[in-house]
A and B are shown apart, each in its own frame.
Chain A
Amino acid sequence: KNQVEQSPQSLIILEGKNCTLQCNYTVSPFSNLRWYKQDTGRGPVSLTIMTFSENTKSNGRYTATLDADTKQSSLHITASQLSDSASYICVVSAGRDDKIIFGKGTRLHILP
């Protein structure tokens, strides 16, 4: 069964600290993996997209990694800011019919 599991469910860190969010998937055949940021009361916004052959993709202070062998991805946030408080959603697309599977998200709280 195609599944996307994210951890932790929620995370609280102090402003300026780094953090890493995890995404494990059991999707086959794999097409691509996206990380989305969803601010409270808004729709998700794409941060990065990675295909099978890509290991790392950066977008400013956000760096996503992908290990297609272990079917794991991580999103690393450097020097966190208050505006990083949001939910981060891992989304994996499965091959041929391009089925999109959403993770439940990690809720990140940045404290001043």
Chain B
Amino acid sequence: NAGVTQTPKFQVLKTGQSMTLQCAQDMNHEYMSWYRQDPGMGLRLIHYSVGAGITDQGEVPNGYNVSRSTTEDFPLRLLSAAPSQTSVYFCASSYSAGAGYEQYFGPGTRLTVT
């Protein structure tokens, strides 16, 4: 099993550009989520999905869109990149949404917006 994979590993964007961060998992997990990690702050939830076709907003959803057309994939779209979106983005998955289920994190995408 590859676990949770994310692409790209690094990305530089100019303000106003759009892009999609890819996330895939091969563990047949129902629950997937996107976090951003900024210096001096804990991981913050952007969007999550409890299954294919179902998505919902997390703590900091503005400026991001998600979709979940398959169980395996959960892409994160930046609509119009802003410098405030410079961050490290982590995708995670777990068997179910319950707090007792371990979350498996991808290796992260480091995004810089100039």
User: In the complex the two chains form, is B99's CB within 8 Å of A104's CB?
Assistant: no
Are the CB atoms of A102 and B105 closer together than 8 Å?
no
**Closest residue on chain B to residue A9 by CB atoms:** B40
In the complex, the chain A residue whose C-beta lies closest to that of B38 is: A104
Contact call B42/A43, Cβ cutoff below 8 A: no
In the complex, 22 of the A-B residue pairs with CB atoms within 8 angstroms, ordered by the A residue number, are: A4-B42, A31-B99, A31-B100, A32-B100, A34-B102, A41-B107, A43-B4, A43-B105, A43-B106, A43-B108, A44-B105, A46-B102, A46-B103, A49-B102, A89-B42, A93-B99, A93-B100, A98-B99, A101-B42, A102-B44, A103-B42, A104-B41
The number of residues on chain A lying at the interface, defined by a beta carbon within 8 Å of a beta carbon of chain B, is 22
Is B102 a contact of A104 with CB atoms below 8 Å?
no
Interchain nearest-CB distance for B90 vs A (Å): 5
Within 8 A of A (CB), among B26-77: 40-45
Contact B108–A105 (Cβ < 8 Å) = no
Q: Tell me whether A45 is interfacial, beta carbon within 8 Å.
A: yes
List the count of A-B residue pairs having beta carbons below 8 Å apart: 45
Question: For the complex, would chain B's binding face be called helix, strand, loop or mixed by DSSP majority?
Answer: loop
Contacts of A82 in B (CB 8 A): none
7 additional A-B residue pairs with CB within 8 Å, beyond A32-B100, A42-B108, A44-B90: A41-B108, A43-B108, A45-B105, A46-B103, A89-B43, A102-B42, A105-B42
What is the chain B residue whose CB lies nearest that of A95?
B99
Smallest Cβ-Cβ distance to B97: which chain A residue: A98
